[in-house]
Amino acid sequence: MQVNTLIIGAGAAGMMCAAHAGPNTLVIDHAKAAGEKIRISGGGRCNFTNTGCTPTQFLSQNPHFAKSALKRYTQWDFISLVTEHGIPYHEKTLGQLFCDTSAKDIIAMLRAEMDRAGAQLMLQTAIRDITKTDTGFAATLTRDGRDTAITARNLVVACGGKSIPKMGATGFAYQIAAQFDLPVIPTRAGLVPLTFSDDRFKPLAGTALPARVTADDTSFDEALLFTHRGLSGPAVLQASSYWHEGQEIAVNLIPATDLLLHLQTARREAGRKRLTSILSQHLPARLVDFLADDLSLQGNIADQSDTRLRAICDALSHWPLLPSGSEGYRTAEVTLGGVDTDALSSKTMEAKAVPGLYFIGECVDVTGWLGGYNFQWAWSSGWAAGQAIAAA
């Protein structure tokens, strides 16, 4: 079998690339269906991009790398594609766009774009023995127990990172990078719940509230959720990408509330009420009960001095916590780290030292915030590589 372009991975980036890479393109994947991570994303509705997407919402050893692709294929370009295919969508909080009906609409759209471009798809197909040749690359494909030799002028690695292994995720992209002597930034789980070995928050499991969570001097104001094993919710998932093992995080339980003013007013107008009762008007009652001993939340509000009330507010607005770890790749939405961007062209995603070899999507050391940013990186990087291949 001979193709112009062989793409490993029928996920968001791989299918996007196939739609733009020109004739004689083949996409392979070991899964039974294309776009499995798309299908389960956003609770089955796929948060496919974000209206506020800019390069500042991405983590990378080189924060400038993503700028070119994101500027040349923007969220508005993808929104236009979604609209062109008649897919209904809506905006949720913070610029996040979701399908009205199903994430399967996005998969069907990408498959239609691939069909329009003449790209082929082979599922339940494994690849091995990848080698560089004078004219490109050679490899062996295995499908239904049969081996097929294949040659390709271009090889695009779009098989993602290590997150959610039950969906078939592996570190295969990094193995290919290592084979061709491309450096790989050490990987770790991102957008992931944080855990505490003592299960201290078990009594609070299911309790949620708006909070500000800070890790490595980066803060996020969104919902925080207590779990049996630790902390989750959007604010924690966001902060987790900036957290490193052994570091404390800081939690502000009252980020948008002038709690001191409320407490002083309550002391003046309802002095006989219990301090915990007043606090429970602004925080979940289970959380107030949980903190009562540590913060000495005893007595009536009338008995509390300004100094005491300030101390309580300070404790609630800066609660230092030391996670023991995270839930890991099992539940992580993304993989931080990956193929070193210094080894790739920011315009084309091509390996500088290996002509015809491209890395796109999650396997590259570019990781977005929660909220549609990682899909936008898949669309933008896939488009950039596809355009470069088609123009070659």
CA–CA–CA angle 178, 190, 334 (5° rounding) = 65
Q: What is the pLDDT of residues 10-28, one digit of tens each?
A: 999 999 999 999 999 999 9
The pLDDT-based confidence of 265 (bands split at 50, 70, 90) is: very high
The per-residue pLDDT of the chain, averaged, comes to: 97
Q: What is the pLDDT of residues 309-323, one digit of tens each?
A: 999 999 999 999 999
- The pLDDT value given to residue 253: 98
The pLDDT-based confidence of 293 (bands split at 50, 70, 90) is: very high
Is pTM beyond 0.85? Reply is: yes
- The pLDDT value given to residue 350: 98
- The pLDDT value given to residue 222: 97
Q: Give the pair of three-digit tokens for residue 181.
A: 């002597």
The pLDDT-based confidence of 41 (bands split at 50, 70, 90) is: very high
Give the mean model confidence (pLDDT) for residues 234-246. Answer: 98
- The pLDDT value given to residue 201: 97
- The pLDDT value given to residue 257: 92
Q: Give the pair of three-digit tokens for residue 388.
A: 């470069």
- The pLDDT value given to residue 208: 98
Q: 3-class secondary structure for the chain? A: CEEEEEEECCCHHHHHHHCCCCCCEEEECCCCCCCHHHHHHHHHCCEEEECCCCHHHEECCCCCCCHHHHHHCCHHHHHHHHHHCCCCEEECHHHEEEECCCCHHHHHHHHHHHHHHCCEEECCEEEEEEEEECCEEEEEEEECCEEEEEEEEEEEECCCCCCCHHHCCCCHHHHHHHHCCCCEEEEEEECCCEECCCCCCHHHCCCEEEEEEEECCEEEEEEEEECCCEEECHHHHHHHCCCCCCCCEEEECCCCCCHHHHHHHHHHHCCCCEHHHHHCCCCCHHHHHHHCCCCCCCCEHHHCCHHHHHHHHHHHHCEEECCCEECHHHCCCEEEEEECHHHECCCCCEECCCCCEEECHHHECCEECCCCHHHHHHHHHHHHHHHHHHHC
The pLDDT-based confidence of 391 (bands split at 50, 70, 90) is: very high
The pLDDT-based confidence of 386 (bands split at 50, 70, 90) is: very high
